[in-house]
Structure 1
Amino acid sequence: MINYLKSEQYRLVRKNTLHITSLVCLLLIGAAATVLYYSQKADPNFPYVTTRFFYSNVIGSGGLIIIVSFLYNFSLTGKDTALLKNAVSFGISRNTIFWSKLLLTLSYFLLICVFGIGLMIGLGETLMTSDSQSVKDFLTALVNMLPIVFSAFFLIHSLKMLKVGEVYIFILMLLIFVFSGDLLRILFRPFTSLHEVYKYAPDTLLHENLLNFMNHTVQFGYQHWITGVLLSLITLLIGVTKFAKQPID
């Protein structure tokens, strides 16, 4: 497995899309901070040059983060079936292929996330009005987002490894991470005992997390971890099982 990891890492770091995506993400963070800073210079009464508003752009951008995670995962799960066939023919197990690609893409995704968070905090605390709790609340809100973002990453990885088309992946991600709360609320409306189920939907939890952050009331939410861990386990179990049986053309 170590040799396969090294070969996949070699391929990954030479992917232009990986570096372009990383650079664009960091530039967007810098651009957002710059726009807010100079908006205050132009208008001293501009009310949004605060760390809390700046950080809320990340807390409220779960969908954008999931899109970025798709681009990172795609760098090793794109149209390289010929390479998969070669790996299998050389005796590399499908489990090794599945988990190696996941481990590498997730590691690089987390690396750019950590770097981006550090950049945001550095810019926010340097250029903007800060309250004493904003960084702590920001990190708490990020911890709440983490399992849901992970579950989205694992779902994307599993679907890509199973050669599901990008359009179908996009539709499924919308259903689960954007509309699931409303769908569950409608679906279970006739059942009194299930009225609260929608509160555990990913989009409901992400929206609540944002509201709590803006209202200075954010705290660790076990519901986020219940939903995220369950989705992750189901996704990975189905993904690795089906990939082990899937023919590689």
Structure 2
Amino acid sequence: MGKTILKVQDLTARYGPIQVLHGINLQVSEGEIVSLLGANGAGKTTLLNCICGLHSAKEGTVEFDGQEITRIPAEKVVRQGMAHVPERRQIFSTLSVEDNLWLGASHRMREAGKQVILQEIDQIYQRFPILRERKRQMGGTLSGGQQQMLAIGRALLSKPKLLLLDEPSLGLAPLIAKEILQIVQEIRDQWGTTVLLVEQNAIGALAVSDRAYVLQTGTVMLEGTAKEIVSDSRVQSAYLGKAHA
């Protein structure tokens, strides 16, 4: 296992008077795929938003690549090497596929140069051939699965050390959802990108993950390797649709 790239300690978060996260502790090492599992309302998306700077933590700390980033604005977190693909993708529906991809690399343009970015966009097209075929289409005209590929491709163009994925299979047909989760594994295996994955499809997420944390009403109920989590009777009952033995 590589060095710790993300460390969350005693993190709490609120929406107004309602406390959503209660002292969350987790860590992710370089080269891992780590899943956050849990029912709707467990606090998974809030936790991702606190990590990437979209929501302010009330207490606790977030360390990324050796630096505390707890209250750093989201745009600065991106520049430090973290990318976030939010729930429901949030691509720019009135821009072309290619323009969406260019935006993913926009903060690197001055340093990397146009030619390097063009080569990197071509690498995205090689991985997602359908995006090359549709590169002049408006993002909003793509299917849900194609939009998710575009959102992932756009995030990869920021050259992240850590990729946060929030419900990438949400609303997709089962075969497409399976393909998207396989892509998550390829991102780690072929691109070397560390991934923190929020996913309600527990079976699919655990199949591609090294480790997982199970959240319940804003607390970590369980943590362990994917094999340990998938064999836990509480997880089988609550998330995998199996009754207690």
What is the TM-score of this pair, normalised by structure 2? Answer: 0.26
Structure holding more helix per residue: 1
What is the TM-score of this pair, normalised by structure 1? Answer: 0.25
Structure holding more strand per residue: 2
Higher-Rg member (1/2): 1
